Amino acid sequence: MRSTERHRCPTEKETICGEDFQISRWRLSIGGDVQMSRAFLVRVILLAWPLVFGLVGSCGRFPGILAVEPEEVPVATVDAAPVPEPIAVPPTRTDAAPDLMMMTPMPPAPVPGPTCMPVDEACNGVDDDCDGAVDEGQSAIPCPDGGFRYCVDGRFSECPRRCDLCVPGSERVCFIPYCTYWGVQTCAADGRSFGFCREQRAPRECDVAVKNNMRSRELEQCCVDKGYCCLDEFDLDNDGDRRESIGSCDGVSCGL
Amino acid sequence: MRALTAVAATLFAILSANRVGADCDEPEIESTIPLQYESTLATVPPNATLSARYSASAVYEGEPIVLKPDGMPPLTLMGTFDAVEGLLKVLPPEGLSPGRIYRVTWPGLRGMTGPRGKNTVVDFNVSATPDASAPVFSGIAALDWDWTRKTDPCTDELLDRYTFLLTPGGATDDGGVDALAVLVFQTSGPGIAAPRLVHIAAMPRVGKTVKVPLGSMQGVGTLCFSALVRDSQMRTSNANTQPVCVATTEAPYFVGCGYGPRSPKSTALIWTGLVLVGLSRVRRRWV
């Protein structure tokens, strides 16, 4: 009579792919007068392989490669019965039976990377000189108006500006849609924005533009032509920026 | 009677002309290296370059920097000023004496369009180890943000600002961390094509933050920041630090037709005018 028994060994903790897994090792015991051949064991292992994959086969880059260490099993008669499914092995046990599978993760095979060809380190976010450090030793580049450009996150920073948007307290001309069509806005104390556009009377030299065109491209052109620093509301320079200043903006814009 | 009215009108005109705050464009000293601490003195290496950072429109006209060693007569030094960074630097010609306490007085500078700011005094100690190598910095450890809204002295209007609170990670330097400056770069966000230096401040002590203010147009959206540290010899830490990002939303303020709450200054001005007019009428009745 064939009597086999599968019993669950105490749960063991193993490390696979850097993580701890609770792995239960199943021991197939062959008891009584039944013995299994090596061929039978190999078939069982092959059939169990997908299950093993399911357990530990999702370890990132290394699909579940497990070393199956065949145990020495006494050679016996070849059983003509159909190969049983590993999970469906009828439970019979013998304490002396060997472990069927030892799941031991194999160390990942070393993946040969591209050979590092050392060149001078540059500010590009890459380890050019193959020393393990990225963008190290990049000197700051002096800017013509003062300040420096620094290597940051693989790029050199732009030359710093004296202020974000405008010189604190400075004024530029703006255009409003009513009454005088002309106004002035003052730069904030931190240079990061202009205040509201406050209505003023347009200068005499732009009276004609005001009367004929009101708040218009022509009025902005007059503002520029007469030497004011003006909000480029009508994009006279066709750069798509309608919030910039245009005209005589020394002392208003943030360049030196 | 006419004379009294004229005086009232003149006073009103003068006050009106100064309606934009008197402290508009008065350059502040935003940061000094080393900083003045309340509890303990900062310590710098004997070869340190001392520096102070002024707000945007400061103009340096050769104002003296006074360096006074403890128990010795003061030294009057000339600094070098980088207007773009707003940085006034001074290198004591004989260096600093290890173990001695110094007091440096940074001068208030005049603004391009405004009055002179106030002096700032900093006391510090000097270590025995000179600064010889570049600092090491782990980058920004944490990032948060907030809105602020306050009356601007130049425009006399309520202005919104985004304030980003950066917590620097660990930094080390052979000259000590009190002589380090943090350089904050905005690496992405509205209008950012290349990393932009947005703030320079003294390296805060552990657990403290660096406040980086940005305008309402520059501060909305997804913004990323990266930081370097710079030692007293102007050497910077390694450039390979990871940027830290945060997403902001627009401030929930409604700007309606310019009829916002009046600032105290405007209110005082109006009351002053009314009182003067009232006084003149009372005077007329008596006469």
CA distances from B23 to A30, A127, B2, B213 (A): 95, 50, 34, 19
Angle between helices B264-286 and B2-17 (to 10 degrees): 180
- Chain A residues in contact with B195 by the CB 8 A cut-off are 150, 152-153, 155-158
Closest Cα in chain A to B217: A193
To the nearest 10°, the Cα dihedral for B256, B153, B199, B139?
Answer: -60
- Cβ separation of B185 and A243 shorter than 8 Å? no
Q: Which are the contacts of B90, defined by CB distance < 8 A and separation ≥ 6? A: B49, B50, B51, B65, B67, B77, B78, B79, B80, B104
pLDDT value for A25: 38
3-state class (DSSP) for residue A218? helix
Closest Cα in chain A to B244: A153
DSSP code, position B236: B
pLDDT value for A71: 40
Q: Is the N-terminal amide bond of B204 cis, ω within 30° of 0?
A: no
- Shortest distance, CA A12 to any CA of chain B (angstroms): 39
- Cβ separation of A169 and B57 shorter than 8 Å? yes
pLDDT value for B15: 41
Q: Which of B111, B195, B234 sits opposite A152 (nearest CB)?
A: B195
Mean per-residue pLDDT, A140-151: 92
pLDDT value for A251: 84
| Tokens at B246, concatenated | 């945060």
A222 or A18, which is more confident: A222
If you compute the radius of gyration of chain B from its CA atoms, what whole number of angstroms results?
A: 24
**Is A254's pLDDT higher than 70?**
yes
Rounded Cα distance between A16 and A64, Å, is 9
Mean per-residue pLDDT, A116-134: 90
pLDDT value for B98: 96
Q: Which of B112, B159, B238 sits opposite A133 (nearest CB)?
A: B238
pLDDT value for B103: 97
- Cβ separation of B83 and A123 shorter than 8 Å? no
What band does B267 get if pLDDT is binned at 50, 70 and 90? Answer: low
- Cβ separation of B187 and A186 shorter than 8 Å? no
- Shortest distance, CA A130 to any CA of chain B (angstroms): 15
Mean pLDDT in chain B?
84
Q: Which of A125, A157, A193 sits opposite B196 (nearest CB)?
A: A157
Number of H helices, E strands in chain B: 2, 20
A25 burial via Cβ count (<10 Å: 0-12, 13-18, 19+): middle
- Cβ separation of A168 and B82 shorter than 8 Å? no
For B135-144, the pLDDT digits (tens) are 999 999 999 9
Q: Which are the contacts of A75, defined by CB distance < 8 A and separation ≥ 6? A: A35, A37, A38
To the nearest 10°, the Cα dihedral for B142, B145, B151, B156?
Answer: 100
- Chain B residues in contact with A171 by the CB 8 A cut-off are none
Strands B42-44 and B120-126: parallel
For A225-247, the pLDDT digits (tens) are 999 999 999 999 999 889 889 99
Would you mind telling me the total number of residues written for chain B in this entry? 287
ipTM field: 0.78
Phi and psi torsions of A205, nearest 5°: -65, -15
CA distances from A90 to A7, A86, B255 (A): 10, 9, 80
Which of the residue ranges A100-114, A140-154, A194-208, B215-229 would you say has the lowest mean pLDDT?
A: A100-114
CA A182 remoteness from chain centre: 49
Mean per-residue pLDDT, B249-273: 59
pLDDT value for B105: 97
| Tokens at B25, concatenated | 């464009």
**Is A148's pLDDT higher than 60?**
yes
Closest Cα in chain A to B215: A192
What band does B284 get if pLDDT is binned at 50, 70 and 90? Answer: low
pLDDT value for B268: 62
- The 10 Å Cβ neighbour count of residue A214 is 15
- Interface residue of B16, B18, B88, B155 to substitute, partner A, most A CBs within 10 Å: B155
- Chain A residues in contact with B198 by the CB 8 A cut-off are 164
3-state class (DSSP) for residue A17? coil
Q: Which of A138, A157, A168 sits opposite B194 (nearest CB)?
A: A157
| Tokens at A27, concatenated | 């021991």
Rounded Cα distance between A210 and A199, Å, is 13
Q: Which of A155, A161, A193 sits opposite B84 (nearest CB)?
A: A161
- Cβ separation of A168 and B159 shorter than 8 Å? no
- Shortest distance, CA B132 to any CA of chain A (angstroms): 15
Mean pLDDT in chain A?
69
CA distances from A198 to A168, A187, A221, A228 (A): 17, 12, 19, 16
For B194-225, the pLDDT digits (tens) are 999 999 999 998 888 999 999 888 888 999 99
**Is A110's pLDDT higher than 70?**
no
Would you mind telling me the total number of residues written for chain A in this entry? 256
% of chain B surpassing 70 pLDDT: 83
A256 burial via Cβ count (<10 Å: 0-12, 13-18, 19+): exposed
**Is A143's pLDDT higher than 70?**
yes
**Is A76's pLDDT higher than 50?**
no
- Chain B residues in contact with A138 by the CB 8 A cut-off are 239
- Chain B residues in contact with A133 by the CB 8 A cut-off are 238, 240
For B78-135, the pLDDT digits (tens) are 999 998 899 999 999 999 999 999 999 999 999 887 789 999 999 999 999 999 999 9
- Cβ separation of B236 and A189 shorter than 8 Å? no
DSSP code, position B165: E
3-state class (DSSP) for residue B150? strand
- Chain B residues in contact with A191 by the CB 8 A cut-off are 55-57
Q: Which are the contacts of B39, defined by CB distance < 8 A and separation ≥ 6? A: none
- Cβ separation of A195 and B153 shorter than 8 Å? no
What band does A81 get if pLDDT is binned at 50, 70 and 90? Answer: very low
**Is A34's pLDDT higher than 80?**
no
pLDDT value for A97: 41
DSSP code, position B9: H
**Is A95's pLDDT higher than 50?**
no
For A159-211, the pLDDT digits (tens) are 998 888 898 889 999 999 888 999 999 999 888 899 999 999 999 999 999 99
3-state class (DSSP) for residue B124? strand
Closest Cα in chain A to B192: A158
- Chain A residues in contact with B86 by the CB 8 A cut-off are 162
Tokens 């005589």 sit on residue = A248
Rounded Cα distance between B58 and B87, Å, is 10
- Interface residue of A124, A134, A153 to substitute, partner B, most B CBs within 10 Å: A153
CA B79 remoteness from chain centre: 18
For B12-61, the pLDDT digits (tens) are 444 443 444 556 878 889 999 999 888 889 999 999 999 999 988 889 99
The DSSP line for A57-121 is TTSTTS---EE--PPP----PPP-SPPPPSTT------TTPPPS---EEPPPPP-PPPPP-----
- Shortest distance, CA A194 to any CA of chain B (angstroms): 8
The DSSP line for B27-84 is --EEEEES---SSS-EEE-TTPPEEEEE-TTEE-----EEEEETTS--EEE--EEETT
- Cβ separation of B238 and A195 shorter than 8 Å? no
- Chain B residues in contact with A158 by the CB 8 A cut-off are 193-197
- Cβ separation of A169 and B24 shorter than 8 Å? yes
